[in-house]
Structure 1
Amino acid sequence: MVTAEYSAHHLQVLEGLEAVRKRPGMYIGSTDSRGLMHCLWEIIDNSVDEALGGHGNRIDVVLYRDGSVEVRDQARGIPVDIEPRTGLSGVEVVFTKLHAGGKFGGGSYAASGGLHGVGASVVNALSERLDVEVDRGGKTWAMSFHRGEPGLFADSGEPRPDSPFTPFRDRSELRVVGKAKKGVTGTRIRYWADRQIFTKDASFTSDELVQRVRQTAFLVPGLEIVVRDERGEESVESVYRYDGGISEYVEFLAPDTAITDTWRLTGTGTFTETVPVLQPTGAMIPTDVERECHVDVALRWGTGYETVCRSYVNIIATPKGGTHQQGFEQGLMKVLRTQVEQNARRLKVGNDKLDKDDILAGMSAVLTVRLSEPQFEGQTKEVLGTPAVKQIVASVVTKELAARFSSAKRDDKAQTALLLDKVVSEMKARISARSHKETQRRKNALESSSLPAKLVDCRSNDVNDSELFIVEGDSALGTAKLARNSEYQALLPIRGKILNVQKASVSDMLSNAECASIIQVIGAGSGRSFDIDTARYGKIIMMSDADVDGAHIRTLLLTLFFRYMRPLVEEGRVYAAVPPLHRVVVINPGSKPNETIYTYSEQELHQLLAKLTKSGRKWQEPVQRYKGLGEMDAEQLAVTTMDRAGRTLRRVRVQDAEAAASVFELLMGNEVAPRRDFIVSSSDSLARERIDA
């Protein structure tokens, strides 16, 4: 039985960890899936810090079916000797004492992601059970904790968090449970998150885990991270290792075709910082310490306008930036403004000044800095606060980028010239869009004479209530005209498949009649100049046939919205209509009128027919299969697809759009080899009945 009493020996320890249990959000941000993942990052980051120090080159992460997770490394192992001030083993200190670890000014870590020394102890406090095993000194040492309190679990078979638990009372015991091979060291931590703390639906997210692990593998060249997920019917294992480092990471992140190579900007700088240093006597004495900051940047520009910038401090992501990102942008601005001024005549810029957005458009970059004891804002480490880093990063970027512009190499000259052309064209587009916005008043549908003739507009001027249906083909348009509510539903027909904007340039997209019509009708611009407040419709609904071609058209449209009108997707204003696949007319006896039932998938049809057969009811044969919207009459289209009372709409989310964009890049992008590999590897899993032929 689990005891509810505190043992006197650990009263102080539990009081410290109780603060974590009472205010978990202060330490992990939240108690949903995000907080659960943050706990896992704390444990993984400790192993990564060891790898950064040159100890171990492999980390295993295992997600078990019972909800527990295990992290294994082959590093030095947590110290098992007695820590003199507390009289506890190193393992117990790390897992029960807040602000205890090897990252406080000692020589254990030159640079690390952990800095507060609370990661492992916080995870322990928020776990129903945590087991740790350490290989060190030829032995395997083990210790278990229940909600932060050390003790013994009486397991019968597999370890379980609800096994009977007995806390240590007089003194703790770090048990020897086996022998380790000579020279073998490492740590294994398995824990079960406490469901008293976390929400019921909190779970480890495979996609988020893979994304973070892949990012770490990019940032630590040579480190191999293995993720095994045993929660499904079959165990799934993925291995991540990248020897190219952040240059390879930039190529992975970049969403467009390159106009420059991936440039690497590296350098170091030093600064002095006054920090309290813990003395052997226990006193904290302010001391001036000289720090070294290593800067490593990989960046490239492409043909698009999206900016992809990832910043890291000691391989910990800082999604909200900080002083290192400010210094990076300052260095970029200084060099490129200087270069544009020096080439003003060739570039025809006049007195106009580059803006930060002009420079960042189309840039993909990974910025990493490495330094001892960085100052973060909060335990979640999303913003770097060390002030001196800003000037060091700015200095490195300025020096290295200026050297690239003054290089005599032919490739460097050609690429820097292309880059200057690009940033200047972005500046001119921004200025042009601003002046156009200032001089042009927004016209509604009745005032506008420039809207496409094929647009069938609605009468309402209420943006929140209005809907634009993008309809596949003129035949469906005729039916849709009769089926719509003309008060608030507008129709725009498109001829077949629009331009594949994944491969096309911005100018090609704007000169394409179908793309231009869609942008013109929505009326909010495109790309960086897109202003969602001026959009003419509250909902944009893609209405295409329920076949392979219809799905392809939806994907093409979705890619257009995602790349050039992304705020529409981010605000949930893009939808896909769901037309039915089948129409089943159920025969009623006597003079009672027949009943019409629509189904939306083959599975739903088979379930309906089985239900009708079981109840002895008959239906008209053959069951009508709609090949396209044009096969429906207006009443059928209205009832099933357009009338708000009975229709179904699928809202497109950003995650959907990102997934579609990546698949679309695979299937329709410029790279042929990945597409060929995909077709070869996936051909066996294709079901012939899914092909609409």
Structure 2
Amino acid sequence: MTAATAEATTDDSHGYSARHLSVLEGLEAVRKRPGMYIGSTDSRGLAHCLWEIVDNCVDEALAGYCSHINVVLHADGSFEVGDNGRGIPVDIHPKTKLSGVELVMTRLHAGGKFGGVSYTASGGLHGVGASVVNALSARLDVEVDSNGATHAISFRRGLPGEFAEAGRPNARFKKRSGVHQVRKVARTTTGTRVRFWPDMQIFLKGATVDQAQVLDRMRQTAFLIPGLTIDVRDERGEEVLEETFRFDGGISEFCTYLAKDAELVDVLRIQGRGHFTETVPVLDDQGHLVPTDVERDLEVDVALRWGSGYDTITKSFVNVIATPKGGTHVRGFDRALIRVINDQLRATKLLKNGDEDVIKDDVLEGLTAVVTVRLPEPQFEGQTKEVLGTSAAARIVSQVVGRELKAIFDNPSRGRKQPLRAVLEKIVGAAKTRIAARTQRDNQRRKNALENSALPAKLVDCRTTDDRSELFIVEGDSALGTAKLARDSEFQALLPIRGKILNVQKASVADMLKNAECAAIIQVIGAGSGRTFDLDSARYGRIILMADADVDGSHIRCLLLTLMYRYMHPMLEAGRVFAAVPPLHRIELIKPRKGQDKYVYCYSDAELRKKLVEFERRGMRWKEPVQRYKGLGEMDADQLAETTMDPRHRILRRIRIEDAEDAAKIFDLLMGSEVAPRREFITAGAAELDIERIDT
């Protein structure tokens, strides 16, 4: 490049030069890009702000200085969190000349959790928690009890100062640095209270923190720190809710609380520790980052129990911070668990020579486990701390779990020998069922390769195979006959099912595969089932459940959705499962006006009443009685096409999973093997039922 060319590229001729560059300083970057720090600006991000403040109190409890945490959800939309820990330092920081509390609240990456002196294990290690919440708050008040006095400081969108009125985020504000004393307290009284009002310029309208989410999180924290008392008060509803959590049994109690099935063996507790060396950048006296080897301790605490059910519940935590997506500590746990179980199965002759090892899915069937580790400065993947990345955790957890679990099986305590044998037998049973299912699938695939007529004979297929294709799963042969005439054979396929399929929520995989209707559905969709399900291999773009608009139809829909949820989960996640909405009523108008349809369809009782009132007001007459459809077979083909199958006129309900955990609970409640909770649910809902809506 010549000098002349270089000069040309630095001028403003292309509209881009150094003056176009922006430099975001301090907390301005947080307000500009809040999603980088809290994930989103909806309810999820708002809850994350609350957790950041709560986690600071929890870190005090982990360090042994806090025994009580108080969380208040105020009616005005603000949140308050307090503890009886040591209190944020209020003395002056020698380098910045700011008080400790102002430094923590206004500077990113400032805190007492980096050097390993104030906290040996903590959850907030990036130093951005409190300062980010401060930046995203219209107002934030801090009170610190220490040295015989209460010290206070307030902030507005990250700037320190004073408000003219207490408890009002829009009160007159004057910028001012430093803390001030508001009252005297006993010298033995220490602690911190933080109250913040989220800035609705940042958060989406309607963003809120769900009460159940707060209770679950606080209950979980109380389980993880034995002896810690957490009080929660929600003043936002018509009735004030108050809850107190304290669990002296720790994660053993947590494991029992999470498990929903009958136990095969009581909770097994595994504890241990290990050491590792980590190379981290450390500031030297000249302010340069120098790679330094640091010795670390890692504590492992695991509780696990096997039950009679099929579901797996694994909760993992690092310094009390939940890691829902696992990480290195969970990988170490899984590795040791599978190794020890296979060794025990060989030692007890439950696995013979030549038998293949059991795999992870076999061992995890019916297992409830809580895996926790504590270590200084864990390496998380992202500020939201959902995955642990510290590589040494996998090795240490694997060693501790392998050693201690082997000792439990080799030298069982009194009364545990037979339950542990039952666990091993259950795992072998799960492996045999898996192998039998795999054999059946392999046989079916070989058969499909050899035979042209692999699909069920009762399938009425369509001509196209692109994304427009739809598979209607139709209840009964009578509805099938009408649907054949009503469908568009170009892209609409029909599969009739006879009656109610198997309830797969309380049946094994082998039983599901033996059921003719379940097998036909899986075979026609053509994408496999369970963990082998491949969404890209599905033969149809949409699956539409078309059942009668009565109680039996609703039950059949529920059974089909249970099959989809357990064995074709990706179809639901992709939003490719729908429920057809056939009409309930047909109104036949007498002498309709020009351009008006003779028949009017209504899809609910409320819509029918509204239509009849409208017709009566307009002086229109209709044939009595109004036709009430009780089944799809009552419709003519043109009626079924117009109301339920024609994409131009029909109504479909897309089946989505908004909250996977809640969905699992509902399926377990309605379709699981436990009868008592379902009876309570039905009894509680009976009082809300409109008796007039029941067909008699």
Are 1:386 and 2:372 an aligned pair?
no
Cα separation, partners in 2 of 1:165 and 1:607, compared to 1, 3 Å = farther
The CA distance in 1 between the partners of 2:373 and 2:203, in whole Å, is: 33
For the 8 Å contact 2:138–2:197, the answer to whether it is kept is yes
For the 8 Å contact 1:76–1:136, the answer to whether it is kept is yes
Q: Which amino acid aligns with 2:168?
A: P
Report what 2:600 is aligned to.
597
Report what 1:166 is aligned to.
174
The CA distance in 2 between the partners of 1:659 and 1:534, in whole Å, is: 28
Are 1:142 and 2:152 an aligned pair?
yes
Are 1:266 and 2:276 an aligned pair?
no
Report what 2:417 is aligned to.
410
State TM-score, norm by structure 1.
0.85
1:252-290 per-residue CA deviation (whole Å, 9 max, x = no partner) reads 555767655543322112234455667999898876554
The CA distance in 2 between the partners of 1:479 and 1:684, in whole Å, is: 38
Report what 2:6 is aligned to.
none
Aligned ranges for residues 154-303 of structure 1 at < 5 Å? 154-155=164-165, 158-160=167-169, 162-168=170-176, 172-178=177-183, 184-200=189-205, 202-206=207-211, 208-231=213-236, 242-253=247-258, 261-273=266-278, 289-301=294-306
Of 485, 493, 503, 2:506 maps to 503
Aligned ranges for residues 486-565 of structure 1 at < 5 Å? 486-565=489-568
The CA distance in 2 between the partners of 1:136 and 1:685, in whole Å, is: 54
Q: State the 1:496 CA deviation.
A: 3.2
Are 1:130 and 2:140 an aligned pair?
yes
Q: Secondary structure at the match of 2:505?
A: coil
The CA distance in 1 between the partners of 2:344 and 2:212, in whole Å, is: 42
1:425-452 per-residue CA deviation (whole Å, 9 max, x = no partner) reads 36735864785588565699xx32562x
Are 1:623 and 2:630 an aligned pair?
no
Report what 2:328 is aligned to.
323
Q: Which amino acid aligns with 2:546?
A: M
1:493-540 per-residue CA deviation (whole Å, 9 max, x = no partner) reads 333332222222223322333323322332333223333333332211
Are 1:29 and 2:39 an aligned pair?
yes
Report what 2:11 is aligned to.
none
Q: State the 1:32 CA deviation.
A: 4.1
Cα separation, partners in 2 of 1:38 and 1:106, compared to 1, 3 Å = same
The CA distance in 2 between the partners of 1:234 and 1:443, in whole Å, is: 67
Aligned ranges for residues 50-69 of structure 1 at < 5 Å? 50-64=60-74, 66-69=76-79
For the 8 Å contact 1:559–1:660, the answer to whether it is kept is no
1:642-668 per-residue CA deviation (whole Å, 9 max, x = no partner) reads 111111111111237754542342244
Q: State the 1:18 CA deviation.
A: 2.4
For the 8 Å contact 2:501–2:556, the answer to whether it is kept is yes
Are 1:42 and 2:52 an aligned pair?
yes
Q: State the 1:637 CA deviation.
A: 1.8
Are 1:153 and 2:163 an aligned pair?
yes
For the 8 Å contact 1:31–1:198, the answer to whether it is kept is yes
Q: Which amino acid aligns with 2:341?
A: L
The CA distance in 1 between the partners of 2:129 and 2:660, in whole Å, is: 35
Of 627, 633, 637, 1:634 maps to 637
Q: Which amino acid aligns with 1:406?
A: D
Q: Which runs of 5+ in 1 are unaligned?
A: 1-13
Q: State the 1:148 CA deviation.
A: 0.8
Aligned ranges for residues 302-451 of structure 1 at < 5 Å? 307-340=312-345, 342=347, 346-348=350-352, 350=354, 352=356, 355-357=359-361, 359-360=363-364, 363-407=367-411, 409-422=416-429, 424-425=431-432, 428=435, 432=439, 439=446, 447-449=452-454, 451=456
Q: Secondary structure at the match of 2:26?
A: helix
Query: What count of residue pairs does the alignment treat as equivalent?
Result: 670
The CA distance in 1 between the partners of 2:618 and 2:240, in whole Å, is: 42
1:404-440 per-residue CA deviation (whole Å, 9 max, x = no partner) reads 3323553255134315514643673586478558856
Report what 1:481 is aligned to.
484
Q: State the 1:150 CA deviation.
A: 0.5
The CA distance in 2 between the partners of 1:57 and 1:677, in whole Å, is: 37
Report what 2:463 is aligned to.
460
Report what 1:88 is aligned to.
98
Of 628, 644, 648, 2:647 maps to 644
Structure 1 range deviating more: 313-322 or 522-531? 522-531
Q: Which amino acid aligns with 1:245?
A: G
The CA distance in 1 between the partners of 2:76 and 2:653, in whole Å, is: 34
Q: Which amino acid aligns with 1:534?
A: S
The CA distance in 1 between the partners of 2:537 and 2:257, in whole Å, is: 34
Q: Which runs of 5+ in 2 are unaligned?
A: 1-23
Q: State the 1:145 CA deviation.
A: 0.5
The CA distance in 1 between the partners of 2:309 and 2:688, in whole Å, is: 35
Q: State the 1:374 CA deviation.
A: 1.7
Cα separation, partners in 2 of 1:639 and 1:92, compared to 1, 3 Å = same
Q: Which amino acid aligns with 1:323?
A: T
For the 8 Å contact 1:579–1:641, the answer to whether it is kept is yes
Q: Secondary structure at the match of 1:502?
A: helix
Q: Secondary structure at the match of 1:347?
A: coil
Q: Which amino acid aligns with 2:407?
A: A
The CA distance in 2 between the partners of 1:243 and 1:628, in whole Å, is: 57
Cα separation, partners in 2 of 1:150 and 1:528, compared to 1, 3 Å = same
Cα separation, partners in 2 of 1:618 and 1:158, compared to 1, 3 Å = farther
Q: State the 1:121 CA deviation.
A: 0.9
Q: Secondary structure at the match of 2:494?
A: strand
Cα separation, partners in 2 of 1:274 and 1:527, compared to 1, 3 Å = closer
Q: Secondary structure at the match of 1:654?
A: coil
Q: Secondary structure at the match of 1:143?
A: strand
The CA distance in 1 between the partners of 2:41 and 2:301, in whole Å, is: 35
Cα separation, partners in 2 of 1:460 and 1:67, compared to 1, 3 Å = farther
Q: Which amino acid aligns with 1:384?
A: L
Cα separation, partners in 2 of 1:636 and 1:142, compared to 1, 3 Å = farther
For the 8 Å contact 2:350–2:425, the answer to whether it is kept is no
Q: State the 1:94 CA deviation.
A: 1.9
Q: Which amino acid aligns with 1:546?
A: A
RMSD of Structure 2 on Structure 1 (CA): 3.6
Q: Secondary structure at the match of 1:71?
A: strand
Q: State the 1:558 CA deviation.
A: 1.1
The CA distance in 1 between the partners of 2:677 and 2:158, in whole Å, is: 48
For the 8 Å contact 2:102–2:178, the answer to whether it is kept is no
Q: State the 1:221 CA deviation.
A: 3.8
Aligned ranges for residues 80-119 of structure 1 at < 5 Å? 80-119=90-129
The CA distance in 2 between the partners of 1:430 and 1:589, in whole Å, is: 60
Cα separation, partners in 2 of 1:51 and 1:629, compared to 1, 3 Å = farther
Cα separation, partners in 2 of 1:251 and 1:547, compared to 1, 3 Å = farther
For the 8 Å contact 2:150–2:183, the answer to whether it is kept is yes
1:574-601 per-residue CA deviation (whole Å, 9 max, x = no partner) reads 1111122222334456777654332222
Identity %, equivalent residues:
60
Report what 2:585 is aligned to.
582
The CA distance in 2 between the partners of 1:256 and 1:538, in whole Å, is: 37
Cα separation, partners in 2 of 1:18 and 1:656, compared to 1, 3 Å = closer
For the 8 Å contact 1:354–1:427, the answer to whether it is kept is no
